[in-house]
Amino acid sequence: MKILCTQTFEEQLKALLSEFVDDDFAACKNFKIYLDTIILNIPTKVKKFKKSIYFDDENIKDIEHQGLIIPFYIDEENDAYLILGIVKK
């Protein structure tokens, strides 16, 4: 399965990282690396994630990480996961 990101996710992540980088560049870098690892592991851990609290759809699940929620859509028809955004909890 492919993992795709929406433009909304990219913009929200960029804004979030710009906040973090002002505080601590090393911590920001470690956060981004760990976040990438979580996203890359979605296909193997998809059953671990709960149905999204933001959407009424069984194919949209939430990843919770360090006070953030990352909703993603399971697109079985196109064999892909679509990362929808990233918001503070």
- Domain layout of the chain by residue ranges: 2-88
Render pLDDT for 42-89 as a digit per residue (tens, 0 to 9): 999 999 999 999 999 999 999 998 899 999 999 999 999 999 999 998
CA dist list (Å): 50 to 7, 34, 53, 68: 23, 20, 9, 14
DSSP type of residue 76: T
pLDDT digits (tens, 9 = 90+) for 9-52: 999 999 999 888 888 888 888 989 999 999 999 999 999 999 99
Q: Which CATH number fits domain 2-88: 3.30.479.10, 1.10.274.10, 3.40.1180.10, 3.30.2310.20?
A: 3.30.2310.20
Question: What are the DSSP E strand ranges found in 6-89?
Answer: 50-51, 60-65, 68-75, 80-83, 87-88
Closest CA to 28 of 38, 15, 11, 40: 15
